[in-house]
Amino acid sequence: MVNSLVGTVALISLVVHGLLLLLAVIRRRSVRAGVAWLLLTLLLSGLAVVSHFIRADSASETGGITVGVLNIFALGGVVITLGAQVLTDVRNRTPRLWLGLGSLWLLLLLIVGLTDGRAQIGQPDWLNTLFTAADPLSLLADPFSLITLLGLAAASLLLLGIAFYAFYAATLPEVANRALFWALISAIILMGVALMISGTAPLVLLGTLLLSFGALGMTYGQISNRVFDLRRELGLALRTFLLLIITALLIIAAITVATNLDLSLGTVEGTLSIVALALIVAAVYVPARQLTEFVLNALLTRSLTKPTEATRRYSRQISAAVELDALVETVNRTLQAALRVRGSALLTVSSSTDHRIDLQLMTYGGDSRVLRGTLNKAGLLYKRLALEQMPLSQFELEYNPDYREVAADERDFFRRLGMSAHAPIIAEDTLIGLLSSGAKLNDAPFYPRDLELLATMASQTGPALRNARLVTDLRRLNESMNALNANIEEARVQMEKLDSVKTDFITIASHELRTPLAQIRGYTDIIDALNDQGMLERDQTASMVASVRKASERMEELITAMLDVSQLDVDAMDLRFTQTALDSVMRLAIEPLTEAIKQRKLTLSARGLRGLPLIQGDMQRLVQAFRNLVVNAIKFTPDGGRIEITASLQKTPPNNEDHILIAITDTGVGIDRANLELIFRKFYRAYDPSLHSTGSYKFMGAGPGLGLTIARGVIEGHGGHVWAESNGHDMENLPGATFYVLLPLQPPKDAKRVMPFQETSDGVPQALITES
């Protein structure tokens, strides 16, 4: 009877396996871990079932392979191919080590099964004999049985361990649920394998059923992208079981009471008693069921989201935020509270072209992450989010075959975002952002209703986000206008200063020119008068010629300075670079000023100039620049003051190259901090031009305002930098000022150079101008 039942069950199992094979072939494009592994597992499982139709005395017909050996070999193949499917699915890569060890184990089983005919495992009543024998361990002395049991035990532990670890380590709830599903299916199939090798008919019957049920679950898991939620189904089963127990207990109690009271429907009293008893049972059943459901709902569904309440709360909160920063924080905090999720993200479209859009994560609350990504307008994600305007779960993006062609950079961007679901934010039929939700607090997967709720919240976010961006843009526009107005006002003030400076320059220049011109004209008139009278003497002539020469030199200096500035304006100052020593440059710059320094009773010292490396520079221009800086120090240092010149070798970033730093420090009246940059502008003077004096070196004597401009132009032409530092302007405390010059040892590559003079074929010298 039992053998007949086993045969019937085996036949039904074969039909089930055949249908599953057909389904796998039809749905082969949907198979996740490879259709070959699924088909091979189903074939081996079917072979294991077929082996029970082979008669025990048919060993000679199978070349020495007994029913148990054939059955165990097929079941071992089921375990190995099942493991290949599970590991490929949960780890997303081919398990080469598992396949290698499994193949070695199966090969060893095959060799031992063919060479050793003592295999007892899997034989009829093998399990009963094992537990009733005087020495049960003697039955495991054959190598085939030992290899089989050890291999099955190791494979079972390893497979279940990896599945549970994948469940623990999964970042997405859907992936964790899938790993848990595979752990359950693996446990069912492994239990079926263990029962089928027992050799006991009832256990084999149960093992065949488990194997068939496991094959059904395995096929379902392979062709389904999203499997049912095991934890939710377990909760529903627990609810049904408890309600069933309560109902059964009440019915049993009612029957017991009716039996003890000997109630019968044959009498009026009995009928009324039974009706009363039924009403009592119903009165107890209804509150008992309600109490049970209340407790179960509190335990199992307390973290479920109520869509109406969530959307109402979300809409109320975000409508109060009018600025973008406030909206970002409100959206994130309200979404996390309403959906009961661990995290959330708001992304906005920062720019858009004909081919792509740029997304940027909006941060809040001290979050300093900078996360940007792009979506190709011809890609699958843009089509789903912008054109179809549908939400998308991260699980679908990662594991749905429809999204296998998604670009790697787009997939990586959403992975780095670390969210579980995304919904498009649409305004005027245009994608303006994304609303993303993290994992749920109860680690449940995102169901379609959850995605619809997220999409509803995203649609509510659209108008709020658009208005907030308009407010933010308006505020930025106002700030820009205020800044522009401030710049215009500053420019107006500077223009007024420059206009005043130009007026002062004209006044000073006319004075500078008129004085020597008057001298020249006066002396020429005197010479002419003396000549007419015949009174012209040699000594008088020499004195007057010297005065005329001095006046003409003063005019030449002013005109030369103006020409130099005009060259700087058009970047036309050409430099002749040669090996130059800075101590020689400084000596030539100071020598013509020696008499003026003595007259003003100033003390000038120079330190650190000797021993410095040579530089490539235009000596004449460098002498001019440093002389202008020293003259500036002389003019604004009162009589008896000090001027110190120091130099040192410095390494400066970014290339840590050698530079020479020269500092010219005086004990003069100082410079107002607001004028530290303005003093290098042409015609600019920080003090009252009425203090101007014709003397070039008198205290507070104002020149045309070109010396510092020329000095900066020359220094920068050498690739250097010049700047001034001072604690302010004070005529009494004399804070002084320091001018710093930083010069490289080598000129810049783009500096204009004048090559040494060369003679042409006609003997005329010619200078060659090049740019390096």
Nearest to 196 by CA among 101, 73, 62: 73
From residue 291, give the alpha-carbon distance in Å to each of 245, 286, 535: 14, 9, 139
pLDDT of residue 770: 40
50 and 197 together in one domain: yes
Mean local confidence (pLDDT), 731-752: 85
Confidence class of residue 515 from pLDDT cuts 50, 70 and 90?
Answer: low
| 494 within some domain | no
20: its two tokens? 């599953």
Higher pLDDT, 5 or 95: 95
Single out the residue in 228, 257, 277 at which a domain terminates.
Answer: 228
Single out the residue in 199, 228, 257 at which a domain terminates.
Answer: 228
CA 706 to chain centre: 52
Between vectors from CA 159 to CA 184 and to CA 14, what angle results, nearest 5°?
Answer: 60
Q: Which residue matches tokens 């109320």? A: 316
With 70 as the cut, is the pLDDT of residue 668 above it? yes
From CA 491, how far away is CA 493, in angstroms rounded?
A: 5
216 and 264 together in one domain: no
Domain containing 630 — which CATH number? Answer: 3.30.565.10
With 50 as the cut, is the pLDDT of residue 61 above it? no
374: its two tokens? 């792009």
| C-beta separation of 552 from 722 below 8 A | no
15 and 159 together in one domain: yes
With 70 as the cut, is the pLDDT of residue 190 above it? yes
Domain containing 463 — which CATH number? Answer: 3.30.450.40
48 and 194 together in one domain: yes
Sign of the alpha-carbon dihedral angle for 521, 525, 528, 530: negative
Neighbour count for residue 609 (Cβ, 10 Å): 19
pLDDT of residue 771: 42
266 and 213 together in one domain: no
Nearest to 376 by CA among 402, 413, 344, 426: 413
| 504 within some domain | no
Confidence class of residue 118 from pLDDT cuts 50, 70 and 90?
Answer: low
With 80 as the cut, is the pLDDT of residue 175 above it? yes
Mean local confidence (pLDDT), 433-455: 86
Neighbour count for residue 619 (Cβ, 10 Å): 18
With 70 as the cut, is the pLDDT of residue 77 above it? yes
From CA 478, how far away is CA 473, in angstroms rounded?
A: 9
Average pLDDT of the chain is: 80
pLDDT of residue 583: 92
Higher pLDDT, 526 or 139: 526
Q: Which residue matches tokens 């619809």? A: 452
With 50 as the cut, is the pLDDT of residue 180 above it? yes
396 and 276 together in one domain: no
Confidence class of residue 767 from pLDDT cuts 50, 70 and 90?
Answer: very low
**H or E stretch covering 521:** helix 448-533
Strands 642-652 and 603-607, by their bridges, are parallel
| C-beta separation of 377 from 357 below 8 A | yes
SS3 491: helix
| 365 within some domain | yes
- Say which residues have a Cβ less than 8 Å from residue 172's Cβ, sequence separation at least 6: 394, 395, 398, 420, 439
Mean local confidence (pLDDT), 584-609: 91
70 and 167 together in one domain: yes
pLDDT of residue 305: 59
Mean local confidence (pLDDT), 340-354: 87
665: its two tokens? 């420090």
pLDDT of residue 690: 55
Higher pLDDT, 356 or 559: 356
631 and 646 together in one domain: yes
63 and 134 together in one domain: yes
| 769 within some domain | no
**CB-hemisphere CA count at 13 Å for 627?**
21
High-pLDDT (> 90) share of the chain, %: 21
Q: Residues in the chain, how many?
A: 772
The range of the structural domain enclosing residue 331 comes to: 307-474
Note the pLDDT tens digit of each residue in 610-624.
889 999 999 988 998
pLDDT of residue 615: 92
| 319 within some domain | yes
Higher pLDDT, 33 or 75: 75
pLDDT of residue 157: 93
| 507 within some domain | no
Lowest model confidence (mean pLDDT) among 147-161, 204-218, 243-257, 559-573: 559-573
311 and 287 together in one domain: no
From CA 192, how far away is CA 170, in angstroms rounded?
A: 28
pLDDT of residue 772: 40
From CA 768, how far away is CA 754, in angstroms rounded?
A: 6
416 and 312 together in one domain: yes
- Say which residues have a Cβ less than 8 Å from residue 547's Cβ, sequence separation at least 6: 519, 523
| Number of compact structural domains in the chain | 4
557: its two tokens? 């200096």
197 and 270 together in one domain: no
Domain containing 215 — which CATH number? Answer: 1.20.1070
Confidence class of residue 67 from pLDDT cuts 50, 70 and 90?
Answer: low
Mean local confidence (pLDDT), 314-343: 82
From CA 44, how far away is CA 81, in angstroms rounded?
A: 9
From CA 388, how far away is CA 382, in angstroms rounded?
A: 9
Q: What's the pTM?
A: 0.57
Single out the residue in 449, 474, 499 at which a domain terminates.
Answer: 474
**Cis peptide upstream of residue 654 (ω within 30 degrees of 0):** yes
| 506 within some domain | no
pLDDT of residue 239: 79
**H or E stretch covering 430:** strand 430-437
Confidence class of residue 309 from pLDDT cuts 50, 70 and 90?
Answer: confident
With 90 as the cut, is the pLDDT of residue 742 above it? yes
Edge-first strand listing for the sheet containing 392-393? 372-376, 356-362, 344-352, 430-437, 421-427, 392-393
Mean local confidence (pLDDT), 228-247: 81
Give the chain's end-to-end CA distance (angstroms, integer): 105
Note the pLDDT tens digit of each residue in 259-295.
777 766 667 777 788 788 888 888 888 888 888 777 7
| 423 within some domain | yes
Lowest model confidence (mean pLDDT) among 15-29, 49-63, 497-511: 49-63
Confidence class of residue 383 from pLDDT cuts 50, 70 and 90?
Answer: very high
